[in-house]
Amino acid sequence: MSSQIQSPKSAAFLFPGQGSQSVGMGKFLYENFSHAKTVFEEASDAISVNMQKLCFESDEKTLALTENTQPALLTVCTATSQVIQKVFGIKVSSTAGHSIGEYSSLVLSDSINFTDAVRAVKFRGQAMQNAVPLGQGGMTATLGLNEEQTKFLCAWAEKNSGHKPVSPANYNCDGQIVISGNLEALNWLKDHFKVEIFSENNLGEAKRCKLIPLSVSAPFHCEMMKPAEDQMRTFLNEVAFNNATISVIQNFHAQVEVGANKLKENLIRQVSAPVLWTQSMQTLKSLNHPIVIEAGNGSVLKGLLKKIDGDFFKVFSANNLEDLKLLESI
């Protein structure tokens, strides 16, 4: 892959995923920029939901419902990227999005129409929520483990608990990998895990390892999501996709794609596949794109990039007017 050097007034646009939402997100954009207001209105019309009320006035529990979270995040991310481009004149060098954030990347790259994307993520949220009965699946964050150790831990849990599946779901950064799957297996792991399993199997030590059960409503990005993937295939086969106008680094394989058919296929398959975020950011580095804007709510990705390669990446946030003012220094 040949490297592409960023122009002085350009940046890679990255979009956060589920878990980055908070009540009030995007309100400063809506109140200050007509471009953002238009995005919120288009989203509201597309799915017959008052997006301003959902993002600005609802409670955390309502906003955290998957079928609400996904269109809300897409709306805020798209509004943010519109303002950054049209008001502050920043060009896009490349893009990637974490899980649901990939839809924002495809909108940004003109691969998919925004209103189609909003309808798709609303459906995606419902499909993912309904794929597994409540209480049968879950997710656990592993801290302090590398990729090899995490894969071994999943296989060890399946073998010894008698329940499956358990597999890596989000490779967020080395030392922070989320696993997903059967809740009984994850609960067994919480009660029976011991750090000695790694040294006993010649996988090094993990003295500082922690397992943290996550408060989620479903086991995302594992094979238990296959019913949702099948539903998304049916839905997205009716949606028009175009070739991307910029490089899109996709979750499914952490590689650049621009072709419409590949973009759609990988978007479908990411529902039940792990998010290869660490690997995607290494691909971004190989493109020689160090200037990054986290074009959405919060600063989760900024924190991850600091751990992945804090010396290479310079990350700008977009959470308030002061953050946007800093973009003038790009």
Return phi, psi of residue 114, to 5°: -60, -45
* Structure-token pair, residue 34: 């007509």
253 is catalytic: no
Strand, helix or coil for residue 250: coil
Other C-beta atoms within 10 Å of 135: how many? 9
For 197-299, list the strands marked E by DSSP. Answer: 210-213, 247-249, 256-257, 291-294
- Structural element, H or E, at residue 15: strand 10-15
**Catalytic entry in 99, 104, 105, 280:** 99
Whole-angstrom Cα distance, residue 78 to residue 73? 8
Strand, helix or coil for residue 317: coil
Identity of residue 22? S
Burial of 76 (0-12, 13-18, 19+ CB in 10 A): buried
Whole-angstrom Cα distance, residue 3 to residue 6? 10
Return phi, psi of residue 316, to 5°: -105, 140
Strand, helix or coil for residue 291: strand
Residue pair 106/146 in contact (Cβ under 8 Å)? The answer is no
Question: Which of 263, 243, 233 lies closest to 96 in space, CA to CA?
Answer: 263
Whole-angstrom Cα distance, residue 318 to residue 297? 7
Strand, helix or coil for residue 177: strand
Strand, helix or coil for residue 2: coil
Distances (CA, A) of 303 to 61, 216, 248, 309, 315: 25, 21, 21, 10, 9
**Catalytic entry in 44, 111, 180, 221:** 221
99 is catalytic: yes
Which residues are catalytically annotated?
99, 221
